[in-house]
Structure formats: C-alpha cells, structure tokens
Amino acid sequence: MALAKLEQLSKSVVQGPSLATGAVPTKDWMDTPVIFKEGNFAYPAKKEKVEYLDSQEGLSFPNARIWSPDEDDWKLPEDWQETILKGLKERLDKFRSLKIFMDCCVRCGACADKCHFFLGTGDPKNMPVLRAELLRSVYRNDFTLAGKLFGKMAGGREMTVGVLKEWFMYSYQCTECRRCSVFCPYGIDTAEVTMMIRELLHTVGIGINWILEPASNSNRTGNHMGLQPHTFKDNVDFLAEDVENLTGVKINHSFNRKGAEVLFITPSADVFAEPGLYTAMGYLALFEQIGLDYTWSTYASEGGNFGLFTNNELMKKLNAKMYAEAKRLGVKYIIGGECGHMWRVVHQYMDTMNGPADFLEVPRSPITGTVFDNARSTKMIHISEFTADLIRHGKIKLDPSRNKNVRATYHDSCNPARAMGLLDEPRYILDHVVPEWFEMPENTIREQTFCCGSGTGLNTDEIMELRMRAGLPRANAVKHVIDKHDVNMLSCVCAIDRATLSSLMGYWNPGCDVCGVSELVGNALVMDNEKRAMGYDAEGNESELPDGFRTMV
Amino acid sequence: MKYAFSFLAVLALVLIAWLGSMIPGMQYLFGVAIPYLAILIFLGGFIYRVVQWAKSPVPFSIPTTCGQGKSLDFIKQDKLDCPTKTSEVVARMFLEIFAFRSLFRNTKSELHEGPKITYESSRWLWLAALLFHYSFLVIIIRHMRLFLNPVPQWLHFLDFLDAGAMLQVGAPLLYASDLAILAGVLFLFGRRLVNRNVRYISLANDYFPLFLIFAIASTGILMRYFLRTDIDIVNIKELLVGLVTFHPVINFKIGSIFYIHVFLVSALLIYFPFSKLMHMGGVFMSPTRNMANDSRAKRHINPWNDPSIKPHSYAGYEDEFREFMVDAGIPVEKELPPKKDEE
Amino acid sequence: MYNKGTIIPGLIIFVLFVTFPIWFNGLTTAGDLPKPELPPGGEKQCVNTAEYMRANHMQLLNEWRDNVLRDGNREILEIDGKKYPKGLQTACMSCHSQKEKFCDSCHTYAAVEPYCWDCHLTPKETASKEAIH
C-alpha cells in the first residue's frame, strides 16, 4: 500500500473521524471487529523461519504454516482456544505483574492520550487501557469470580477468533515503550500486557516476519541482519578504513580475540546500514584514540534482541550469547553500544536470565580508573556511561567546532529512558561534542519521551502509514525545535531509532537527519597523529570536511 | 446504558434494604447478620486476593524509571523517580500511595491543524481523586466514634476539624468531608460521561462502585440531617458497639434509612475484593513502582528461570562457519579438518 | 508465596486497621450505656415525645435559636397548658437542670460536642456566678 501524501495524512490525523478528533464511535468496542487489509498489518512470519525457531532447543514456535491475516481462516490449531487459556493461566502464575495489571485498572483514562499510537491513529483500541482490556476482558471471563457470575455485564467476554485477531492487530500496534506506565497511578505497564499477548499468540502460531526472521538470523549467525562472520568482519573493516581515510589514523580492531580486556557488542544495524554506520565509525575512532584493549565478536555480533518482542524463552536464548562469548574469550567486562531495547534486556533481564556473570570483573575504565559500581553484577556498561566518564576526566580531546554544521536535538529512546534511567549521560556528552543543541518540549523528552513509532519489530515497510502516524508525536516535537532553533540533526542512542527516525524525519520533517551520539563524539574527537582529510568549505577555502564521517560513505 | 444498569443495581439494593428492614424481625438480618458476613467476606476476600497475587513471583526487575538513574558520580540521580535504595523506593511508594504522584503528572494532549500536538498539564483528575479518597478515609475514621466506647480524644479532635473547624452550619454540624466526597464522586462520575475517551472505556464495573458510594454518602447525609425519625444515635451506637464486641442487640426501633445505609456499606464491602477496588492493595504491589532500579548492580532472582535454555552454541556456530572464518582470518577454536565435517 | 517478608506484615497491618474497633474496645467490653438522669423535679411532660426528642432535639434547638436570635420571634410555645419560652436555659434546663447528668451523658457517649455551651450557662454555673457577684 502506497504511503499517503503528507498533506493527506496531516489532514486525516487532525480531521479524520476518530476518537482522538472527537468522533466517538457509536458501537461498543467489544462489538467492533477488526478488519485486516493490506497496509494495516505486518506480514506473518515465513513458514521456514518459524520451523527453524521451533526446532531450536528450549524454544516453542508451533503451527508453522503459510497464512495471511487478511484471510478469514488463520489456520489455527484445533485446540487453539484451550492453548490460549492454558497459556494465560500459566503466565498469570509466572508473572505477578500480569495479575496485578489485570486486576487493578480502574479505567481512569490517564493513559489514554499518552500513547503515540492513539494520538496518531485515533483508534480507541490504541488507548493503552483499551489495549489491556482486550486481554483483561478474557481474563475476567475465565479467571475471575465476577466474570464467571456476570459475564459481559462484568466486562468479560469469551475467547473467540475475533478476539484473537484483535489481539494480533493491537499487540502489534504497541511498541512496548512504557510511556503510559509513567502516568498510570498504579504503574500498569502496557508493555507487560503486550508482551504477554504476543507470547500467547506465538503459542498458536501467530507472529510477524519482521521479528521472527531477525530473531532466527540472530540465533544462527549471531546478528539480526544474518551477516555471516566474514561479512560482519568485512563490514567493520570497511568502516575502519573509512575512519582512517577521514582521520589519517589506522584503526586497530579485532574479532573474536581471546584475552582482550573488553568485549564490545552493538546492534548489527550499526555495521550494516546508514546512519548507524557513522555511529559505528564513532566507536572505532574513540576506542582507537584511547587505546582500548577490546574485541568485536562475530558470534555475539548483535546487541539487539528481537526475542524481547516474542517470548521470554527466545529473549533469554539470544541474550545468552553475550555472556557465553565473554566467558569464551576471557574478557573482563562488556561494553554495549547505543541501542534501546538491547539495553532494556541488558539492564533489566540479562543478569536474571543468564547470570551470574561471576567469570567477569566489575567494569573499570582502563583510562580513567572509574569503577562502574552501578553495573557491578551485570558487568556490562553503556557506551554513553563510558564516554561521559572519559570526557569528565578530560581523557579525550574534543573539538565541538568540527560539528559546527550540526544543530542537534536529542531523542530519548524509550527503553534507556523508562527502563534504565539513562537520561543525562548522553546529554553530558552532547554538551561537549556539539557547539549547541536544543531540547524538545518537556512533555516529549526524558521519561515522557515519545517512541519513534516503529519499535518492537514494527519497522517494516508494509505498515508505513501506521508507523508515520505513530511517530507523529515525536516528529511533531522535532518540528517544534526545527522551527524554533533551526535544528537539523536528531541525535539518539538507539539503533532502531536511527533507522526508523530517518524514515520518520524524511516524511514529516525533510531535511532533518538522524545520528547516534557516538557519531558526534567521533566527529569531534581530536586524535593523536591525525591527518584529517581536507575539502573545501562554502567559501571555497580549504578546510576540514564539514560533515565528518558522513562524507566517507 | 452501562450506567443505567449500575444505577438500577444500586437502586435495587436500596429497595431491598428499605422494604426488608420494615419486616418485623428482619432488623437482625440487616443490622447484624449481613454486616458480619460483609466484613468477613471483605477481610477474607482481600487477604485471599493479595495472597493469590503473592503466589506469582516477580520474575524480572521491571521498575519504570521516571528520572535519571544512579550511574556516574557526576551525574545527579533522581532518587525519587529512579530509586536504587530501599529507603528511596519507600519514599517513591509513599508519594505514589498518599499523594497519587503519577496522576499528578497527567497531561492533556490535543491535536491541532498542522498537524500539531500540544500537551498541557491536567490535574483535575488528580485533585478529584485526592478529594474523594481522603474524604472517604476521614469519614471512615470519623465513624469510629460509633464503634468505640469510650471515644478516644484524637477522634474528638478529628471530628472537630471536620465539622467544628468549618463554619458551624446546621445541627448536627455539617461535615466538610461529606461535601468533599459528594463533590469527588460527582466529578469522577461526570468525567466518565463528559470525557469521550473515558466514556468509551467505562464499564458497568466502573459506574457501579461510584453509584454505590454516592448512595452510601447520600444515605448517611440524609440520616444525619434530614430523615431523623427514629435515628437516635445512642441506640445506633449501642448496636454498633455491640457488633464489634460480639454482643449485638437491637433494643429500639431504628429508622429504615439506617438499615439502607448499613446494607449499602455491606454491599460495598462484599463487592470490594472481587472488583477493581482491589487497586487499594494492588498499588502496594505494582512491580513497576515498588522495585529499585538496581538490576545491573544486584542480581534479581527469577524462581522459574530455566537453566536448560542455552544459546545456540559457539561450537555449533563455528562448525557452520569455520571455513569462512578461517578464510577471513577470524580466530577459531578448532582448525579446519582435512575433510569438511557436516553437522 | 513470594515476598512473604513484606506481604505478610502488610496484611497483618491491614487486618489490624480493619479490626481496629474490635481490639481497641478490649475485645468484649461494650462499656456502659449512657443513663441520662430524668428531671430532678419529676416532670413528665416535654415539648414533644421522648422518641422525637432523642432523635431531633438538636434540630429543634437550632430552630429555636434561629427564631429567637435571628428572626426576633420570641413567641412562647404552649403545649398541654404548659408554657415554654423558646430557649435552652429558659425551657429545657428549667426541668433538665443538670447538664452533667443529662446532656453530657449521651453527648460524651456519642462523642458529640454541641456548641450550646459556648454561649449558654448551665444552672449550676449561673448559680456560682451569682454567688461571686
């Protein structure tokens, strides 16, 4: 489906009949079935990807088949209903969060207009409270006394194929960004609800390809892109060459090297696609300058974890590579690159799932001597923490004027902001690497930040309009600083953001680029013995290349 | 129509108590048996629900961080919104429970031509919620004067604050909390009708407790100020003290309005554990609020963590790609065999 | 059950709160019921029935207060041949002369603190004041 023209979509968002624009649907939401049509759903997972995952030890991805959401028959297994209800019971017993979140909501509506999907689509079922009600209604019907006694009157409803389809539609119109949970008086986190619904859907063979294919790639080749070891190495080598071409400094990096002090893991998108490539160049330049004894890994070549978007077994299995590789290589600790959901997994899940990492040491910066006590158990630190510490101790020389063409703003990625509390480290770095940068309005940053609109594996092209709608609140906040401060660069610390915000800016705010904070670090970095490639500035005088790494690819 | 159903349900409860209490001998049912049953169900049900929650573990550390976390010493931690110590978590929870802090953050978004989205602070819900909950609490504590003999001094003081400290209006004195709870309930109800988002999501389960609490407050007010026939506080207190000392007696005729009030309260107590009203217990146990953001510093234990889930092994990976790795100069664990080994 | 260390104490506190009136009363003692003393003079007649007065005296007095002080209506009530000037001291306390033994007994029991005595004097107080002058 072709993406609507900007004017059309702009009009539709504001004037189209939706709950957000004031048109209250006349029918109760329980009586409003979902309709799938090309453009409003992500394509289902390919049969062979599901089969591959199902064949892996410890995983269960049953009912691999060829099917499509816009067909009536979803080719569900005979006993699908029983499977779902049994799965729900099992998850209620495993996750207190699920029980509490099912029981405590008072439908105060504080979350309703906090969701970027609701703001962009106006679809009532995109209000977080209603998204949760999709599951809660079934929970009530089958697991609570009130529901068993009073059924629909108590807000219960039977698990039907229609409900299942609704689950699929709306659990894949949620990016698990947790913004609603900030505003909920009970901290109800729709991300938890969406995760459970997605897990349940997988038990009957419903999943999307944009998640399961990268996940199976990651399991087999080590990264979502499916880059095999030699290709991964080649890509990084190219980037290293580009850095050398710009700075005149030879980059000494290594792969799968035993005995290195640090294992560095970043999302594979950083070594594969623009604008992440420039961020990766930033890492390479920085590590070279400080002489960090580190290694890349081709086996654990993925920071991201699409398992998080499927079920906790797959998340654990994919994540386990990080510690396994750290142990095999005998490193002391791990540094993680810029990535949003990767850091959700690393910060809140990794140690619990795959720890204790007693074979590693508490991270200690070899340059500054700083001991990262906040990561003393997980033994993995964020590149922004590492870099901010270097800057604080004056261990790197930065020339912000090298980023003089950059008028930046900063986008807090959902997970580092709301599932980690990483807010000020990147800001501290920005303060030192660009001449000037500008905050977006206060209700759109920090813990109130808006999602890019395409997280949790939704950055697939077939749902582009949905993505542009969901990303509107973010784009709109960026537009505010573009209009006010001539901002031309949206910086962030997330690989998914780098990909999705690029499309989003291209659509809503053409002319605004997207970069990783580490790209700006690398550009501003003054390296020893550097010999910068020269070009000409606007006046025709010979000068350093004004766009840094961006000139190289 | 969902509110109509809830309204009728509350009306039915009123009628049951009204007509029922007029039947000779039924006073003991409405004044003694049902209240005892109600408090038993309330206590038992509440404990049961909390224990049911507690039976499920919190497998992962999932606090919602609403501020800067503790990291480098020059980065200032937001201790309330991103706590790492127990004391900080307690402070966060305290403000959450007693000041509804998350609700205080509430904003209202609006779509404008452009498109342009604006957000403005919106604290009416927070204010009404505080008004409602605190006046309810004061009313409950105030009622203790009818259960305690002798009445402790601090209750006199509370009563004085609630009634006497205000203008001295009417006889008996008008309570500020009576007005506040009515205002609170009416706002919460009005909001469900007027705010289109909330109207669309509201269920019968949302209207019912509002109507019920409104009816409880109204019958209480009617009994105190207007329908005083056979409302002798001494007789009523004799019954209530009798209830809590397990010697309940009804020696005098007590007006129907009293039985209606008590029956509605009993209905609320019975309804409580099986409804969303359990948010009272749940707010203490919400993992996104009551956990410390220290998951990288301290290992959180998941009791059902499955150690048998292992990564796709490095050995398996190298076996599949060894040839390419060797070619590309990537170190390997096992050198290439003379003959390729398929596995 | 998980997190017993916090949840069980929490539940205990909750139960203690809910059952507060039970244990605060000392479990079984209901305390004494108030026994308002009847008029020492032995009068049997009042402005209304005993049941009515028990439930409504405060509203009646409030009405009298408004009549007399705000509207200047000092009309004297005549019931069954007996005259009652509207007023706490002039009417009620002419029979129920002992505040401590009549009014206070129930008011204390029900924790009611009427503001009558902010202005009015009891017969006893009147007597002692007169003695001083």
pLDDT at C42: 81
Q: Which CATH superfamily is domain B2-285 in?
A: Transmembrane di-heme cytochromes, Chain C (1.20.950.20)
Positive or negative: CA dihedral A377, A381, A385, A391? positive
Q: Would you state the pLDDT for residue C17?
A: 95
Per-domain residue ranges of chain C: 43-116
Say yes or no: C21 contacts chain B, CB-CB below 8 A. Answer: yes
Among the listed residues A107, A155, A152, A100, the one whose alpha carbon sits nearest the alpha carbon of residue A130 = A107
For residue B165, the model assigns a pLDDT of: 66
Q: Could you tell me what percentage of chain B is helix, strand and coil, using 3-state DSSP and rounding each to the nearest 5?
A: 60, 5, 35
Judging contacts by C-beta atoms under 8 Å, the chain C residues touching residue B246 are: 28
Q: Which residues of C touch B57 (CB under 8 A)?
A: 2
pLDDT(C76) > 90: no
Q: Rounded to a whole number, what is the distance in Å from the CA of B122 to chain A's nearest CA?
A: 10
The per-residue pLDDT of chain A, averaged, comes to 95
Question: Do the bridges between strand A437-438 and strand A542-544 make them parallel or antiparallel, or are there none, so unpaired?
Answer: unpaired
Determine the average pLDDT of the residues in C1-7: 94
**Looking at per-residue confidence, does C39 or A345 come out higher?**
A345
B100 touches chain A (CB under 8 A): yes
Residues 43-62 of C with CB under 8 A from B: 51, 54-56, 58-59, 61-62
pLDDT, tens only, A399-449 = 999 999 999 999 999 999 999 999 999 999 999 999 999 999 999 999 999
Q: What is the value of ipTM here, to two decimals?
A: 0.94
**Res. C27 pLDDT band, cuts 50 70 90:** low
> pLDDT exceeding 70 applies to what percent of chain A?
99
Q: Are A385 and B72 in contact (CB under 8 A)?
A: yes
Write the pLDDT tens digit of every residue in A454-504. 999 999 999 999 999 999 999 999 999 999 999 999 999 999 999 999 999
Classify strands B116-121 and A525-526 as parallel, antiparallel or unpaired: unpaired
Output the six-digit token pair for C130: 């007169």
pLDDT(A376) > 90: yes
Q: Which chain B residue has the Cα nearest residue A471? A: B117
Q: Do C51 and B232 touch (CB under 8 A)?
A: yes
Given A130, A353, A421, which is nearest B67 (Cβ)? A421
DSSP A364: B
Question: How far is the first Cα of chain A from the last one, in angstroms, to the nearest whole number?
Answer: 31
The pLDDT confidence band at residue A2, using thresholds 50, 70 and 90, is low
For residues C125-132, give the mean pLDDT.
Answer: 76
Mutant choice from C25, C60, C64 vs B, greatest count of B C-beta within 10 A: C25
Q: What is the phi/psi pair of residue A482, to 5°?
A: -65, -50
* Whether B330 and A376 lie within 8 Å, measured CB to CB: no
A377 touches chain B (CB under 8 A): yes
Contact (Cβ atoms closer than 8 angstroms) between residue A256 and residue A250: no
Distance (Å, whole) CA A400 – CA B21: 82
Under 8 Å CB pairs connecting chains A and B tally to 336
- Contact map slice: B 110-169 vs C, CB within 8 A: 144-152, 155-156, 159-160, 164, 168
Task: Average the pLDDT over C62-89 and give the result.
Answer: 88
Confidence of residue B166 (pLDDT cuts 50, 70, 90): low
- Residue B201 near residue A109 (C-beta atoms within 8 A): yes
Task: Note the pLDDT of residue A553.
Answer: 67
Q: Which residue has the tokens 């993992």?
A: B287
Q: Mutating which of B234, B254, B256, B289 best tests the C interface, going by the most C Cβ atoms within 10 A?
A: B234
- pLDDT recorded at residue B304: 97
> Which is more confidently placed, B159 or A397?
A397
Give the closest-approach CA distance of B46 to chain C in angstroms: 9
Chains touching C (at least 3 CB pairs under 8 A) are B
Report the mean per-residue pLDDT for chain B.
Answer: 93
Q: What is the interface size between B and C, counted as CB pairs within 8 Å?
A: 107
CA-wise closest residue to A518 among A355, A387, A373: A387
CB atoms closer than 10 angstroms to residue B2 = 18
Half-sphere exposure in the Cβ direction for A427 (13 Å, CA): 18
Q: How far is CA C9 from the centre of its chain?
A: 41
State the pLDDT at residue C28: 56
* B159 with C34: Cβ contact below 8 A: no
Task: Please report the pLDDT score of residue B173 as a whole number.
Answer: 87
Contact check, Cβ <8 Å, A186/B299: no
Mean pLDDT of A384-394: 98
Contact B53 A220 (CB under 8 A): no
With cut-offs at 50, 70 and 90, classify the pLDDT of residue B342: low
A13/B62 touch (CB, cutoff 8 Å), yes or no: no
Q: Which of residues 50-79 of B touch A (CB under 8 A)?
A: 52-62, 64-72, 74-78
The pTM for the full model equals: 0.94
C-beta atoms of A425 and B299 within 8 A: no
Amino acid A17: pLDDT = 84
Question: What is the nearest CA distance from B117 to chain A, expressed in angstroms?
Answer: 7
Running DSSP on this structure, what letter comes out for residue A323? H
Distance separating the N- and C-terminal Cα atoms of chain C: 76
Taking the Cβ of residue B201 and every Cβ of chain A, the question of whether any pair is shorter than 8 Å is answered with: yes
**Does residue B25 have a pLDDT over 90?**
no
Smallest CA–CA distance from A146 into chain B, residue: B274
Task: Looking at the complex, report in whole angstroms how far the Cα of residue B274 sits from the nearest Cα belonging to chain C.
Answer: 17
Cβ contact C31–B150 (<8 Å)? yes
Q: What is the pLDDT of residue B221?
A: 95
Of C27, C31, C61, the CB nearest to B241: C31
Q: What is the pLDDT of residues A219-247, one digit of tens each?
A: 999 999 999 999 999 999 999 999 999 99
Of C4, C18, C58, the CB nearest to B171: C58
Contact A367/B at CB under 8 A: no
Q: CB contact, 8 Å: C2 with chain B?
A: yes
Of C11, C21, C25, the CB nearest to B50: C11
Contact across the interface for A114 and B100, Cβ inside 8 Å: no
Closest residue in B to A235 (Cα–Cα): B328
In whole angstroms, how far apart are CA A498 and each of A181, A315, A452? 24, 22, 9
Do residue C25 and residue B147 have CB atoms under 8 angstroms apart? yes
d(CA A389, CA A383): 10
- Does B343 reach chain A within 8 Å, measured CB to CB? no
Q: pLDDT tens digits for B67-94?
A: 999 999 999 999 999 999 999 999 999 9
Which residues of B are less than 8 Å from A424 in CB distance? 68, 75-76
Scanning B267-306 for CB atoms below 8 A from A yields 274-276, 278-279, 282-283, 285-289, 293-302, 304-306
Closest CA to A285 of A254, A331, A252, A257: A252
Nearest to A277 by CA among A515, A524, A531, A527: A515
* β-strands A380-382, A333-336 pairing: parallel
Q: Which residues of A448-461 are buried (b: 16+ CB within 10 A; e: fewer)?
A: bbbbbbbbbbbbbe
pLDDT band at A548 (very low <50, low <70, confident <90, very high): confident
| Contact of B137 with B177, CB cutoff 8 Å | no
Q: Is the pLDDT of residue A82 over 90?
A: yes
For the stretch A6-24, pLDDT in tens is: 889 999 998 888 888 888 8
**Which residues of chain B does C61 touch, with a Cβ-Cβ cutoff of 8 Å?**
171
**Domain boundary assignment for chain B:** 2-285, 310-343
Integer Cα distance of B334 and B315 in angstroms? 9
Residue spans per domain, chain A? 24-207, 215-547
Identify whether the C-beta of residue B223 lies closer than 8 Å to the C-beta of residue B261: yes
Q: Is the pLDDT of residue B341 over 70?
A: no
Among partner residues A104, A119, A356, which is closest to B299 by beta-carbon distance? A356
Chain B contact for C1 (CB, 8 A cutoff): yes
Between CA A249 and CA A240 the distance in angstroms is: 10
Contact call for residues A265 and A303 (beta carbons, < 8 A): yes
Q: What is the pLDDT of residue A373?
A: 97
What pLDDT does A434 receive?
97
